[in-house]
Amino acid sequence: DCPPEAGDFRAQQCSAHNDVKYQGQFYEWLPVSNDPDNPCSLKCQARGMALIVELAPKVLDGTRCYTESLDMCISGLCQIVGCDRQLGSTVKEDNCGVCNGDGSTCRLVRGQYKSQLSANKLDDTVVAIPYGSRQVRLVLKGPDHLYLETKTLQGLKSENSLSTTGSFLVENSSIDFQKFPDKEILRISGPLTADFTIKIRYAGAADSSVQFIFYQPIIHRWRETDFFPCSASCGGGYQLTSAECFDLRSSRVVADQYCHYYPENIKPKPKLQECNLDPCPASDGYKQIMPYDLYHPLPRWESTPWTACSSSCGGGIQSRSISCVEEDIQGHISPVEEWKCMYIPKMPVVQPCNIFDCPKWLAQEWSPCTVTCGQGLRYRVVLCLDHRGMHTGGCSPKTKPHIKEECIVSTPCYKPREKLPVEAKLPWYKQAQELEEGTAVSEEPSFIPEAWSTCSVTCGVGSQVRLVKCQVLLSFSQSVADLPIDECEGPKPVSQRACYSGPCSGEATEYTPEETEFLYGSLQEFDELYDWEYEGFTECSESCGGG
């Protein structure tokens, strides 16, 4: 790595021309990076002006082709460089930032926050994103405003109000923030150099929602110890390794339960090897056995797992039992008298749990009445929200607000006159073929339709369906992630359409103009009023995550 004070190599090459006249004048030159056509030419821009000039056909060897890439220019050509810093290597970092990694050192965190307006609350916490997290992306929709609180590993706290659009540094982490009238987007490629808490400041009467996605590092990992001293000084003995839970942030050993928290962490089994195999000197006549304490852990407290919490929310208690045990060299654990553990702090046997608030029902506003005259129905969405504002289960069905009620529109309805009985099949027109442009996944969330299914019938009129996903391209890892449907803006492409597979046997294919006139013309002779009839909603397009 270059030291932080080294500066930008391309910028140095531009500034070298500051004391050379260009068209009879001196300029202060700044680098123009990421030229898609020729990234290895030296293009510079005069400070404070729109003047952009190619000051050299080639940058110096070793200059990066693009700011966000390791690829470098050599002899004026862009050469690929892997994350292993090898020329010609295609090795890439995984989502966790590990070169050629398998993604096992971090986990994807995604979720949604919905604002809960109350008179005595001006702001709220959206999500806490820990030190070392990567590829952070938040989208706020609504009138409210995002801001940041940070806390370094040394305990220094600061706040950033995110008042304007732009790119800036917060605790040495580069942040890209975009502010729109009804939306805010926050991106941090990471890794974060502090703990970030994203907060929301309430600004309007309407509710806001924030969707977030990031990769969180697994900071507690098992680490294998060195071999303990040999069990015998000569004549052959054994020695074992053990595993300890290591905190990557503080670089110190912590209690095993921190590593058990991550199901991805599998504790390595102890290794056993023979040692001190030389025969004992004849003069001694015996083999010295090393004191037990030196080659194996001392007695320790062992606990049973915590019992289930006495309450699923609103505060409960859970308990466990502990006992003093010893482990022999073969790994067999046996209970011993408690006095042997008297110098080791005893673990708590009771602790509070599930101290967060219980889920509550939240009723959204009513829909318009389903009719434009007379008596109809109106509907509303009723959600069960947990203490984080996430959609969940667990609310009492007895206290659920009703989701449907009758409504009356003051406009009176008119009964339509009886229509003439017409017994005829309507003519089916040849279906217009829908020509779809292929849509490519981009770094902005976009709707990506899949191919249409085959027609549901082999003759006559049927239907075709297709899946429409909301997807985004994660630029650093060049992988595609599925997002909730409401993350994508603009009209969603249709997911169902009619299809015509030719006439069935015995079916008339065309109608004469006279027949068509009889079918349609006879209906137009009456000056009639029509009534809408409400038939309810279709099934939801998604089983979760917004449809």
pLDDT tens, residue by residue, 461-494? 788 899 999 888 876 667 788 888 888 888 888 8
Rounded to an integer, what distance in angstroms lies between the CA atom of residue 523 and that of residue 164? 61
- Residue 329's pLDDT band, with cuts at 50, 70 and 90, is low
Say if CB 116 and CB 193 are below 8 A apart: no
Rounded percentage of the chain residues whose pLDDT exceeds 90: 23
Return the pLDDT at 87. 93
Task: Kindly report whether the global pTM for this prediction surpasses the value 0.75.
Answer: no
| DSSP count for the chain of H helices, then E strands | 5, 34
- When pLDDT is averaged across residues 146-150 and rounded to a whole number, the result is 91
**CA separation (Å) from 198 to 132, 149, 187, 190, 362?**
15, 7, 12, 15, 24
Judged on CB neighbours under 10 Å (0-12, 13-18, 19+), 470 is: buried
- Asked whether residue 452 carries a pLDDT value surpassing 70, the answer given is yes
**Which position has the token pair 């994508």?**
488
Does 191 sit behind a cis peptide bond, omega within 30 degrees of 0 on the bond before it?
yes
pLDDT bin (cut points 50, 70, 90) of residue 115 is confident
- Residue 28 confidence class, pLDDT cut points 50, 70, 90: very high
Three-class SS of residue 527?
coil
CA distance 173 to 175: 6
pLDDT tens by residue, 260-277 = 877 777 888 878 788 888
| pLDDT at residue 441, as a whole number | 76
CA distance 414 to 196: 62
Q: So what's the pLDDT on residue 523?
A: 40
Mean pLDDT of 88-104: 88
CB-based contact 140:208 (threshold 8 Å): yes
According to DSSP, residue 396 is labeled -
Residue 360's Cβ-count burial label (10 Å; 0-12, 13-18, 19+) is middle
Task: State the pLDDT at residue 519.
Answer: 41
Contacts of 444 (CB under 8 A, 6+ apart): 472
Q: Which of the given ranges, 38-42, 256-260, 300-304, 423-427, has the highest pLDDT on average?
A: 38-42
3-state secondary structure of 301: strand
Domains annotated for the chain, with CATH where assigned, are 9-79 (no CATH), 106-217 (2.60.120.830), 220-275 (2.20.100)
Environment class of 413 (CB within 10 Å of its CB; exposed 0-12, middle 13-18, buried 19+):
middle
Could you tell me the pLDDT band of residue 286, with boundaries at 50, 70 and 90?
low
Cα four-point dihedral sign 19, 23, 28, 33: negative
Residues 6+ apart with CB under 8 A from 516: 427
- Check whether 20 has a pLDDT greater than 80: yes
